[in-house]
Amino acid sequence: MSRHILLTGGSGFIGSNLVRFILRHRPDYRVTNLDCLTYSGNPENLADVEKDGRYRFVHGNILDRPLLDTLAKECDSVLHLAAESHVDRSILDSRPFVETNVMGTQNILDAWRHAKGKAGRFVHVSTDEVYGSLPLERPELKFTEETPIQANSPYAASKASSDLLARAYHHTFGMDILITRCSNNFGPYQFPEKVIPLFVTNLVEGKKVPLYGDGRNVRDWLHVDDHGEAILTVLEKGTGGEVYNIGGNNERSNLELTHSILKAMGKGSEMIQPVADRLGHDRRYAIDATKIERELGWKPTRSAWPGALDATVKWYVDNPKWWQRVKSGAYREYYKQQYGNR
């Protein structure tokens, strides 16, 4: 079956990897990437597919209703990823998180409902952070789809609000909406404010790595292409109205992660700089992905540790041009050079 997907946030980390994954693995699909290019949106992430006739970039905001009304008529499915995504930024200023993640999601849901009614599949990409935090002392506990929503950071609260809006639009209007809640992703093209690219690029630059608090916080790491394949699986095989957890069954403390990065780069533990903890820092995330594995037949195949982490570290070490342009801000000029001032 051919599809024309409206993918929001396709110039960010997961979105750009997903666009590339779709074009590579689904020859019958077309993708329209709607992205307003915030600081984390970087069209250079997709420079290699710009000339593919099945790909189209639309520079626009999910808050722009007339634009969404037009795109909703042109496309048959939505993968909704556009969001403010960084917890630390949400602690400094939560307003853009509410505007994009809550109001933007409400806007695209309304546009989609107006254009499609109950038809037209809509996958809302949520996060495991909506579930809150698990205790280190209870390693047997994991987040299931039935775990109550208990968002702790302003970022997580804004994602939880959008997640609940998506659920409510299915329940109230019968729309064909599915929700995914995924754990921490790693891979190429991640903005170097997130822990893995920040630490690797700091080390290349001879700087220390700022480890928050006691370093014992745990995350469940999944390769971004395993996430991409799971999102496509949900789009193609999922049941409307359902929530699907996605995770790598790959829990690591930040200390363990940091030592793995140091080892991959031939650096010692003197490069660790303990710093003050993140406010409200969630202790542990761990996903139970049994439902998507059992019902839809997905499982991670690209996240095996430490090989997959080492390959990601190598990608950043081998691609200094990409992240140096991000860290210096030069990437902001790329769009103007390619597309002018549209």
State the residues that interact with ligand NAD by CB under 6 A: 8-9, 11-15, 35-38, 40-41, 61-63, 81-83, 85, 100, 104, 125, 127, 159, 182, 184-185, 191
The residue (of 175 and 198) whose beta carbon lies closer to ligand DAU is 198
Yes or no: say if 8 and 63 are a contact pair by the CB < 8 Å rule. Answer: no
Yes or no: say if 29 and 4 are a contact pair by the CB < 8 Å rule. Answer: yes
The residue (of 42 and 202) whose beta carbon lies closer to ligand NAD is 42
Task: Respond yes or no: is residue 88 known to be catalytic.
Answer: no
φ, ψ dihedrals at 4, nearest 5°: -120, 105
Structure tokens at 113: 């409902």
Q: How far apart are CA 262 and CA 176, in angstroms?
A: 45
Among 86, 167, 208, 299, binds ligand DAU (CB under 6 A): 86
The residue (of 22 and 134) whose beta carbon lies closer to ligand DAU is 134
The one of ligand NAD, ligand DAU, none whose footprint includes residue 104, by CB under 5 to 8 A per kind, is ligand NAD
The residue (of 261 and 267) whose beta carbon lies closer to ligand NAD is 261
Which DSSP string do the residues of 318-338 spell out, in sequence order?
A: H-HHHHHHHHHTGGGGHHHHH
Of 29, 131, 155, 316, catalytic: 155
Which helix or strand (DSSP H or E) is residue 125 part of? strand 121-127
The one of ligand NAD, ligand DAU, none whose footprint includes residue 37, by CB under 5 to 8 A per kind, is ligand NAD
Residue of 280, 212, 291, 207 whose CA lies nearest to 245: 291
> Per-residue string for binding with ligand DAU, 280-319, x by CB under 6 A?
-----x----------------------------------
Using the rule CB under 6 A, is 39 a contact of ligand DAU? no
Task: Respond yes or no: is residue 129 known to be catalytic.
Answer: yes
Residues 6+ apart with CB under 8 A from 284: 133, 134, 135, 136, 217, 218, 219, 251
Task: Respond yes or no: is residue 52 known to be catalytic.
Answer: no
Active-site positions read 128-129, 155
